[in-house]
Structures are given as structure tokens and as C-alpha cells.
Structure 1
Amino acid sequence: MKRKLLSFTIMALAAYTALSAKTKLTVKNTVGGDSDEVGDYDLFSHTKEKELSGGTNSNSGFSLGDRFQVDLEDNLLTGRFRLETIFQNVDSSLSKVIFAPSGFVHFTPLPQLGIIAGNNFYKYFAIPSAYLAAADDTTKYGRLLTDSLGEEGYFGNDSLSVFTNGFAGGITSDWAFSNGIYAKFAGGGTFYPATNEFEKAIDFGANSGLENLFDFGFTAHNITEDDRKFGAFLGYTGNTNLIANLGFYYNFTTSDYLPEERVTGSDDDDNDVYKYKKQSTKYALGLSGGYKFEEAGLGIYGDLITGLTNEYIGTIKYYDTNGNLIDSQTATIARGDTIVKYYYNKKGTKAKSRNDKFTHAGIPLYAQIRLTYTFSKSCEGSFSFKIRTLMNANDTTWITLYPRVKVDVGNNGSIGAGLRFDMNAARYDGLSGISIPLTYTYKFKKKF
């Protein structure tokens, strides 16, 4: 079935390109294990974690995947089809195979009017000034349209998710003027067939600027809900080697850029266990910059995102005397306080239950530095240092060191490999994880 699906996709794209002028077709295949490129795990990983009893739990994992991708671009139609097939052995007792097709189609009969549909838009609508130079990434806050009910996770992470995880669509408008001013607008939503109802999330974004001088943009995601998210960005674009971007975030929840905290909770059998809570922050300010020294082959980049208060947006849950959830409320909560759960008694008053959710009042902080160096035309290396922490809470600090090298092989192929070192104080004192990402990528381009 997989081979037939791929053959049909390639034949359909080939037929279309035969009828369309100025068409570019790109086929890219990546095989291996790298959490930045294929799947959620590196080719090999080994982690350590504290146990409540005082001991240490160690796990080794293996991941091997393949990402096949076809991109089509011409004056009327831009599209992408991606097929990910991933085998993951997380520990000795858990293995799984993921088969995840995803993609989108963007039809633009006029530059000022476009229609897009699919289940993953990737970074297709990224705002330039929202780019994080050290991370080499743009979070969903910097994208005019998203595809997952305002959440950070992509569709496409679970088997056959293209059929079960919903559908996204929207309208776009792109304007370019002779004086170098440009403007882009997009609006749409994600529609998800939930168990008992049909959920939806509405997104909107705008991006404008003056070529070779500045860029700015604004996004609003899941705007009809209490946990809506906003982003505003401004950047200087007057030097191609220089990156200088500023961002403001509301309800920042991106786990790749925020720490986690260990708390003691209860499992389904009421036994005390360690749980790990991803942090969020209500207001955050971000800075990103860098410079590429062309003659020296050296690039230096840095990111900083910090919360502005110790507040975050959380949920207070209410239960009846039988322990059944009867109500929930989205609210601004001060970190260091607790997300208090209440039980309603027969008289309608409330009595406190657990109060073990948070113990620190620190403000979340992310910082990263990345250095790149071009050894030759076919070989480039990089080294990144990333830290995530709650300020004034050392046992939440997560440090990642990541040296990596990329070598071109032949005219269209490349091999990427590295070592990823994690020191996650929430889970373990010292080196908590080491992993080996390794991938081979082949790319083919054709213009018609």
C-alpha cells in the first residue's frame, strides 16, 4: 500500500508539472535517527532518572526512521507531501512503529488570494523576524497559520494521523509593491473530530515590512479560547549576514524552550511517583541575533527568551465527593502557588485537596548560543549550548551541549552526525542523557 501511495503521488505531481510552466519539483529523503529531523528520538540514546526510593533508573533507546518528502512549486500551486515511517525502541519493554503521512496544498489563482488546506503547514507561513537564530527554528508563535488547535505538537506524530487528527484550512493574501513594501495576511482554522463534538481552533496572522530594511508581524492562535496565544515580532533586514530580531509572546508554552519541574504526584494506584511538569509563562520577551563572517567561514548566533513575571495560564479543576470532574476553570496562576483541586461537599462549599503541583516561584528562562564553522565547501560543523531553567530554582536547570558536523556526499547527498549531552537537574544530578543523532539525506531538484 505504501509503495502504491508513493507511486500515485509522484505520477500525479509529474502530470501536473507537465501542464504548468515555471514549475520546480524537489524530492528529499532522509533516513536515520535525529530528533531534529526524523521522529522524536535520536538513533541511540541513554538516559538516567531518579526514582522516588532514592535509586536511579537507566534506559537506552534506539530509533530508525525515514522521511520521504516531495515539494511542488509554481505560479499557481505550492504543495508538499511527506511520509514518515519510524521504528522506535524507547526502552527494553516498549517498541512502536509510526506511519505518518502529512502535507498541504496552497492554490493561488491571484497573489492577493490563496486557498490552503492540509493537516500540516510546517514553516510555510513563517514570519522572518520571528526566526530564532541559535535554535535555527521558528516556533508556531511566528507562523501566520498553524494546524493543531493552538497546540505546539504537529499533526503527523502518530500513525495514520492524517485520517484521525483533523484538518486545517485557510485563506491567504500576499501583496508586493514597487517601493519595496510587502504585506501578507492569513486566516483559518483547524477542525478536529473529537469524541463527542467537533472541535475547532481559529488562527490569524499578518506580516509586513520594507525589503532590505525591516520586517514585523503579528499572530493570534486559537483566539476563541481562554488559553489563546499571541506573538508580535520586529526585525532588521538591512544586512544579509546580520540577524537582529525582537519578539513578544503571550501564553508561551513551547516545551523546547522552557524547563520542566519535578513534582510528586500519584499514579492510578495512588502510589507516590515523580512526575515532570512542563512550564509555561503568561508573558515572555525574546531576543535573537547573530552574524556570519563570510571570509572566515564563522557564524555566531544567540537567543534569549525570558518570562516577564512568575505567572502562567493554568487550569483549576473541581471534583465532586466521588472524585468525578464536574468543572474546570482557566485562570492566571502565580508560580509558587498551587493549582488547588477542590471537592464539592453536599452543602456546596469547597475543601482543599492536593496542593503539590508547584514548589518554586522562579521565572522561566531559555538561552542558547550556536557557533558554526565552514571547514570546506563540503563540510560544516556547529556547536550549540542551550540552557532552560526557572530562575532561583537550580533543580530545574536543563543544559544541552550539541556538537554536530554535516558532510556533503556526492552532488545531492549529505550525512549529518553529532553527540547530544543533556544535564537535566529535574531528572538527575549530573549527566542525565547522551544520544547520537545520525542521518543521511538525498535531495533531487528539477525545474520544468
Structure 2
Amino acid sequence: MTSTADTTFPTLATLDWRGRRFSRAQLKSRLPRPLVNSQTTADAVQEIIDRVRHEGMGALLELSARFDGVNLEHTLVPAGELQRALDELDPKVREALEESITRARRFALAQVPADAVVSYDQGATVTQRWVPVRRVGLYVPGGLAVYPSSVIMNAVPAQAAGAQSLALASPPQKEFGGLPHPTILAAAKLLGITEVHAMGGAQAVAAFAYGVDLEDDPRGGIEPVDVISGPGNVFVATAKRLVKGVVGIDAEAGPTEIAILADSSANPRYVAADMISQAEHDENAAAVLVTDSPELAQSVRIELEQQVASTKHTERVQTALGGEQSAIILVDDLEQGLEVCNGYAAEHLEVMTHDAASVASRITAAGAVFVGDFAPVSLGDYCAGSNHVLPTSGTALHASGLNVNTFLKAIQVIEYDEQALSEVAGHVINLARAEDLPAHGDAVQVRQAK
């Protein structure tokens, strides 16, 4: 593997894979990935989980003081603060949120699966019935940016699925008097979410997973949830992994990433802008360009140098683009490019090629695919109608983005009458004996005795 960086935007590495073909194992070992190890935080996170589980609200309040620098009397945000945040919201932002909600809800409702009913014979029916989880805990991060869009992306599919109860957690902000960011509160109000907690990090995950009893406080405690969804930092991701099984989780999200498959027809200005748009999230964010055009690669470097210098979060973007997780990968042709992209399994994959729709149809592993020049990732982040909570770190090889099914359970219902059972009784008995589980067969045979 050759790694180089020319004098134009030198921090972004080039991996020259032309003339080489890798096995899947070799490819996975060579793909650029962020050096993030959540295992190193596991002990600290487990300690936080244990404290919240056993000490309840007292632990939550002490941890808020330690990590967020705020002193709270309770995590629950008063209803009046939600309304005030919405009343004071910039009308243009409100309009944008409402449009995002409308589009996301339309797509989410279209995902709701129908029950499946199969009749084998008269009196023999098997049904798969979809049932929503009862209660969902939605996590919305704070940190370097404000994410009202994540409120929408998590809440709308849960609501479309029919979840009865939604609770939202977002870190308390010192500059807002210990409340979550007001835009987060306003988005919650727009969506009809009435239970919002000022809590973040691993402690919020623990509170949702195990619940918090507080019988003596008129505001009550925190009822445990069935599913926790939403992105967060390495502490949140680790906490979700540690409580998985106690509750369901959507995914263990890592740093955001974009891959772009492009040929000589791509516009280098668009490519550079889209790489920057993801790199501004986090210093560990990944931006990878896969192309068979050295000329495009060079043009993108020139664009990056110009655009990074003028973007707001220049230092953060430079760090992300200069990390081991970001690179330009040169390939022989689009066939090799598709092989690389399907091995990388990007959270976000843009396809900017001749006949982009046809090329995109051959993608088998990605959280979301953005086709052509006018479908940038930022469109999906806010207003495409798709969901931006997507699998990262290569997990798109086996995982899906957040959707209605995240909040649904499939229950199988078996209905056989006496005649229908008698028609398969012999098969059940013979299979039970073959597995040396004769009582299984007896449970059928006893129903055949007259």
C-alpha cells in the first residue's frame, strides 16, 4: 500500500491501490478507520452505570455537577420551558424543523410493515404480528454542535411505529441555566414530546436502562425504557453496549464518516465541500474519496485547501482530514471502486459518476447512498426525508439505519385446530424422537388419544 501526500493540502493522505487487488480480509485491514477504542472507557462507564443504578437521582445530579458544571434539583425539564423555547425559536428555524418533520414522518409511515398471515390448511394459521415497544428513550447529544435534527430523526420513526411513551435526554448546558439547548427543547415541543430530561453521557443511558425511583418527589423518577436510540460520544456508545440486553439499542455509533465514489465527471468543488461537511462534526470524523481519476484527486486537494481555509471550524476539519481515518484512494476503475466502497460500508456514501444511479444500484453496504451531484449528505442530515442515524465503522455490512422497525417487535401467533394438528402430528412425533426429546412428541400424542 502506498501512502503519499503532495504539497496541496498535504495533511490528506493518498492510498494508491491502482494495479492491486486485495482479498476481503486484506481490504478490511487496509481501509482507513478512526483510531477509537471504546474498550478503554469501559471501566469508567461501568462505574457510572452502577452508581446510577444504585444511587438513582442523587448520582445523576452529582454527575451533572461534575461533568457539565451545573447544579440541578431534578433532571426533568418543566413543561413551561419547552413552550418558552418554541415561542422564542427563530421562525426560519421553526419552519425548517416543521418541513423536516413532515418529510421524515411521511417516509417513516411508509415503512410500517403489514402483518403476515399464512394459512396452511383449514384450521391451521400462522401470523406474524408487529407490535410497538412500549417506551423509548431518545438520546440527543450536546458537545461541539446542536442537534435538533437528531430529535426529529429519533422521535419520528418511534412515533410512526406506535410507541406509547417517549422520553428524551440531552446534556444540561451551563449557558442555558442547566437546561438542554433551547433548540432541542423547541424541537421536542414541536414533536409533542412532553418528557425531557437534562442529562447526558453514560449516566443518561443508565437512567433510561434501569430507571430511577423517586417516590417522594412530586415530579417522580424516570421509568425504564425498552429501547434506547440516538447517537453520542464514545462514553454514550460504550454505555449502550454495556446495557444492551437489559434494553434494546439502535446501534453503537462511532464517529461520523463519508465516502465518495467519483470519476472524472465529478465536480471537485462539490466533492471537497461534502468532505468538509462531515469533517466539521468531529476531529475523528472520516472523509474518504475513492476515485479512478488522479486529475480529480488533485483538483479536490486544491479545492480543499481553499474551502477549508474559509470554513468556520477550520482547525477541526484539518485535524479530521489529516487523521488516519481520512484519505484519497486511487483505484484502477469503477469496478475496483465499487469493491472498495462495498468493503468500507460507509455510514454515508455519495456516488458522483457517469450514470450515477446505475452505479449506486450496485452498492450493497452503506448506511445511506446519495446519488448524483444534487444529493449531498447534508440534505439527508436535515430535509431529504431519510434518517440520519446510520451505522458507522463498517457496521453497514450487517446493520441498518434507524427506522420504524427499530421500535417494533414481531410476535408470531400460531392457531391450529384439532384436525389441523392431527395432520402433522406424526411429523412432530417423529422429529421429537429423532432429537431425543420424546416428551415433545407426547405433548402432541396426548391430544390425539380418544
- TM-score of the superposition, structure 1-length normalised? 0.23
Structure with the largest fraction of strand: 1
Identify which of structures 1 and 2 has the higher relative contact order when contacts are C-alpha pairs closer than 8 Å and 6+ apart: 2
Normalising by structure 2, we get a TM-score of 0.23
Specify the structure having the higher radius of gyration (Cα): 2
- Greater fraction helix: 2
